[in-house]
Amino acid sequence: MSLPWSVSVSSSDGSLWVADRSADEGSDQVVHLRQDGHQLWRGGGFVDVSCVSVNPSDGTCWVADKNTNQLIHLAQNGTELWRGGGFSGPQWVSVNPSDGTCWVADSGHGQVVHLAQNGAELWRGGGFSGPISVSVNWSDGSCWVADTGNSQVVHIAPNGAELWRGGGFNQPWSVSVNRADGSCWVADTWNDQVVHLVPAQITVSSGYVTPSTGDTSTRFTWRARFWNTANLPPSIVQVAIWSAGAGTSWRTMWALDPADTNYVDGKWYTYSCYLPSANYSYRFAAQVGGQWVYWPQPAGTYQSGPTVAQANPVAQTAGYVIPASGTNTTNFTWRVKYWNSLNAPPDEMKVAIWFPTLKTTYWYSMYPYDPSDTNYRDGAVYQYSRKWLPAGAYAYRFAARQGTNWAYWPAPAGTYAGGPTVGP
């Protein structure tokens, strides 16, 4: 070989791909060697091979041909599967065997490119300056980038979203990720050092719902705390609310304090709503780039609550008696407004009148003030009238029943309002 420039070993069979950069321009080759060094294939047609990356899952190899501004995808036997341009001095390639995609450091364009197995472009992003090296994490599909011209290292999600960007380097030349723990090693060239980086930790914790029980008139609130050691905001935080009848419904949560931008020490997110009667459970999820985190753990685990009962649909308001005073020949009328959120008429509607002379209470049925008014959601007036009351100071209260639900005015049950006063 002449000027071997890049090597990539297949973990599946131990074979080795080599970028054989010839001393003569335009005569570069790529070589495939068996584990014992026996040559399996050698091919030319390259100009300035800068990097090779083998996919151990299928034995194929990606080649960055710098001076032709092309990428080439080779089969295990060296057959060309795809060749594509549109690059400018591509320096590095890194294949993800879990899905066959390939990351490219497109140095001349100051970009990083994510390609599908067939060469289709999945994502292309700028904001880099002469990126030299890329290394993909097989376990989550994220990619580390040596952003050499900016003297930074960048961690990006599979969709290109930036997970972390850090400085303090001096022309970092190479990155290599440990897929076991997601950490990354950096060759920090002009600082004469090697740096070991831990990926940003993203978590959701401390989730709860309050109150834990209530009825259909109760507003329930879910809260969870989002953390990111890289201090980047989430792209979305959600709560999944589940019941046996309705299944799972994902709801978007909002920042409890929009002014709080410190995600390192945790930021609260919240969501509130009313619920139909049922027994519920819930879980939380947050995303940064393409990375999802969940609470409770593991993903798919639910926390119990809340328990929601049917609220009493019946209510009464605005009870009164007219006139407030009179004689035993006065015709007194008691009125009250009946409400029902389910628009159901009352099964019973009564007024209780306390007679001071008899020191006892009598119940009387009430009737609609306007029989044509059947909209009980906005209230319907009921009344009862009588005269020939003995002299004295009376009191009254109202009761309504619809099914098993009762409502009283005044509230609570057993409370009386004064009136009328009847003279001789």
For strands 303-309 and 213-215, give the pairing. Answer: parallel
pLDDT in tens, 67-98: 899 999 999 999 999 999 999 999 999 999 99
Exposed, middle or buried, 360 (CB in 10 Å: 0-12/13-18/19+)?
Answer: exposed
User: Over the chain (424 residues), what is each successive 10-residue block's mean pLDDT?
Assistant: 88 93 75 94 91 96 95 95 96 96 97 96 96 94 96 92 90 94 94 92 94 90 95 94 95 96 96 93 90 88 92 84 96 95 91 95 96 91 95 96 90 92 93
Whether residue 134 contacts residue 144, with contact meaning beta carbons closer than 8 Å, is answered with yes
Which residues partner with 121 through β-bridges?
115
Which pLDDT score is estimated for 23? 57
| 82 contact partners, CB below 8 Å, separation of at least 6 | 71, 72, 73, 118, 119
User: DSSP labels for 126-144?
Assistant: ---SS--EEEE-TTT--EE
| 200 contact partners, CB below 8 Å, separation of at least 6 | 155, 163, 164, 228, 229, 230, 232, 288
Which pLDDT score is estimated for 162? 86
**How is residue 218 annotated by DSSP?**
P
Which pLDDT score is estimated for 54? 97
Q: Which two tokens stand for residue 119?
A: 């060469």
- Please report the domains of the chain, with CATH numbers, ordered by start residue: 4-197 (2.120.10.30), 202-309 (2.60.40.10), 314-423 (2.60.40.10)
- Determine the Cα–Cα distance for residues 417 and 410; give it in Å rounded to an integer: 7
Which pLDDT score is estimated for 199? 85
